[in-house]
Amino acid sequence: MSKQDFDIEVENEKLEERDDREDYDYEGNPLYKIVNIVGTVEVEISKEIDLTQIARTQSDVEYNPERFPGLIMRIEKPHATGLIFSNGKMVVMGLKDVLEADKVVKKIIKNIRKAGLDVRNPKITPQNIVATGDLHVNIDLNMAVMILVNSMYEPEVFPGLIYKMHNPNVVFNIFSTGRFVCLGAKEKETIKEGILKLKKQVHEIGVVRKNLDSIDNENMSFY
């Protein structure tokens, strides 16, 4: 076993020993931070949902069918936004924790029922968990795009490298500073698996740099 493989194995063992192993590596560095969770919801209805009736009875909603067919409902605690459609389908976005989805949907259902409408048995399905993180190394993106399969780097259009990883199936936007955005995961475990694989890959393909002459200008907020 090479030293690199040994280090990766040690990291995985350390992660398993920590109660918060989904959020930190063995050096105490955050693996990721969830910034948005998007989920779909389906409910049972006896007839189409009257969105106009909801708009008349609720204050924190926005409904303009000429611009968008769904009603926008904002929930304060936990902070989230729901898109409600007349056919009983909904989209919930803006969550930071998967466990908050059930609370948000219950509040949306409660508000709909206040309008005198019958909806029941909501089924929630996470569709996309967006997370940010830092590999804590600088990356040579020009070299990485030539080696990583299913990657694209056009700095004149976007300062990050776009990498479509398979197994797990997630998409990374990777920046030269080592910062990244992970998209497409439906479970937190998938995010962790993808990040650990990415950390291993950048070392294996030799794109880690100790210093960079220039740093990408990234209009993004991380930890």
Q: How is residue 152 written in tokens?
A: 């694209």
User: Is 41-126 in the same CATH topology as 3-34+129-209?
Assistant: yes
Mean pLDDT of the chain: 86
- Side by side, the strands of the sheet bearing 170-174 are 61-62, 71-75, 80-84, 89-95, 33-45, 119-134, 179-185, 170-174, 161-165, 151-152
Q: What is the pLDDT of residue 155?
A: 96
Q: How confident is the model over 201-215, as a mean pLDDT? A: 77
Q: Output b/e per residue, 55-89; b: 16+ Cβ within 10 A.
A: beebeebebeeeeeebbebebeeeebbbbbebebe
State the pLDDT confidence band at 202, using cuts at 50, 70 and 90: very high
Q: What local confidence, expressed as pLDDT, does residue 217 receive?
A: 44
Domain boundaries, the chain: 3-34+129-209, 41-126
pLDDT, tens digit (0-9, with 9 covering 90-100), for 101-114: 999 999 999 999 99
Residue that has been written with the tokens 């909806």 in this structure = 119
Domain covering 3-34+129-209, topology? TATA-Binding Protein (3.30.310)
Q: pLDDT at residue 218 above 60?
A: no
Kindly report, residue by residue over 68-100, the tens digit of the pLDDT.
Answer: 999 999 999 899 999 999 999 999 999 998 889
Q: Which CATH fold would you assign to the domain 41-126?
A: TATA-Binding Protein (3.30.310)
Maximum Cα–Cα distance for the chain, whole Å?
67
pLDDT interval class at 222 (50, 70, 90): very low
pLDDT at 192 over 80: yes
For 10-61, the pLDDT digits (tens) are 444 443 443 333 466 666 666 899 999 999 999 999 999 999 999 999 988 9
**Nearest-CA neighbor of 196 among 2, 19, 1, 7?**
7
Indicate the helix (H) or strand (E) that contains 35: strand 33-45
Q: Is the dihedral of CA 148, 150, 156, 158 positive or negative?
A: negative
For residues 146-175, average pLDDT: 97
